[in-house]
Amino acid sequence: MFRKLTSRSIVAAISGLLALLLLVSPVNAQSWEPRKVTANLKGSGATFPNPLYQTWIAVYKNVNPGVVISYQSVGSGQGQTDFVRYLTDFGGTDSVVSDARIKAEAPDTLHVPTVLGAVVPTYNLGGVTAQLRFSPETLSAIYLGKITNWNDSALAADNPGVTLPKRKITVVYRSDGSGTTSIWTDYLAKVSTDWKTNIGSGTTVRWPVGIGAPGNAGVTSSVLRTDGAIGYVELVYALANKLPVPLVKNPAGNFVAPTLENVSAAAAGVELPVDLRVSITNAKGAKSYPISAFTYILVHQQTYTDLGKAQALTDFIYWGLTEGQGGALRLGYSPLPDAVRKKSIEQLRKIVVNGEKAFDGPVK
């Protein structure tokens, strides 16, 4: 019987350790302290960074007890909707808000990258103990329904020396509006003309085959209980539930693992636009893991009305971008490259409430 580890159990296991690790955080901001304000902050969105955000919230409660923060992992699509409708103070998303939506619903939206993460294909294939390898051609063909059995010749070619069983492949996908899906389909659209033309990319798509499950946790659970299943989840969910993490072939022709180094390599050569909205899937580079992404917190630049809440929110995010980056490492996320992290801090410095800056902390 499988024991499914949830975001809550991951947080419980690591929050105490993180409190100690923050003393030796890779980004030392000890010259700065959060303002002692009292506020209740509400956020919702991506499940991708949920283990990290819940850990940050748990530890930050000890740093600034007057600030109460909640974050509901409802998926990036719902998180964006909650944010633009002002149902929350901040949003979490792995997919950037579209130009059209920003213009129509939330023109003062700012994207603040918080960490890097990897989306991984993961599977349940009883009797196979070798670490499998997937080329972009086989991954796209599986999700298009063109490869339906594990012993298909294309999979065999990816995995020389591995005896693959004659077993039906059960494809699992996200049934909710999902930033993880946006990353996954963005990748498939880049590596498969068929996928780009017929399916496309986004937080939701019309899946040609498979069964749906809500959230990273739901996909993980479906894969765990279905022999022959394949799904896509954020790396920490696969690791926490002891699911296999295969190698994926990158544009350089190398089969690479989603290590911290390889995820960071995917971001290294990307030139960020001014608004920081960018895709880094299928990035060039010998080590780059091809299904990597930034995850973002969404904030408003000039439509907050409560200065104290805006100060509490910007202080919390700044703390996550400095002291909290040590927790990202321990949870399997890659900390932001220093140049990107500083640009994230600059986003916070743009926020104003009734003409008064909400945050003026150091960019360091």
CA distances (Å), origin 338, targets 27, 118, 294, 334, 347 = 9, 19, 14, 12, 14
Contacts of 44 (CB under 8 A, 6+ apart): 71, 72, 73, 74, 78, 79, 82, 83, 87, 88, 91, 92
- Complete domains list, the chain, with CATH: 7-117+291-357 (3.40.190.10), 118-262 (3.40.190.10)
**Which string of DSSP letters, residue by residue, matches 83-127?**
HHTTSSSEEEESSPPPHHHHHHH-TTEEEEEEEEEEEEEEEE-TT
Q: What is the chain's length?
A: 364
DSSP 199: T
CB 309 within 8 A of CB 39: yes
Determine the Cα–Cα distance for residues 358 and 364; give it in Å rounded to an integer.
18
Fill in the amino acid letter for 5: L
* Both tokens assigned to 51: 């283990």
pTM over 0.85: yes
| Tokens 């350089």 -> residue | 252
* Tens place of pLDDT per residue across the chain (364 aa): 333 445 455 455 444 545 444 434 455 555 789 999 999 999 999 998 999 999 999 999 999 999 999 999 999 999 999 999 999 999 999 999 999 999 999 999 999 999 999 999 999 999 999 999 999 999 999 999 999 999 999 999 999 999 999 999 999 999 999 999 999 999 999 999 999 999 999 999 999 999 999 999 999 999 999 999 999 999 999 999 999 999 999 999 999 999 999 999 999 878 899 999 999 999 999 999 999 999 999 999 999 999 999 999 999 999 999 999 988 888 889 999 999 999 999 999 999 999 999 999 999 8
* Both tokens assigned to 337: 């490259």
Determine the Cα–Cα distance for residues 87 and 80; give it in Å rounded to an integer.
10
CB 44 within 8 A of CB 92: yes
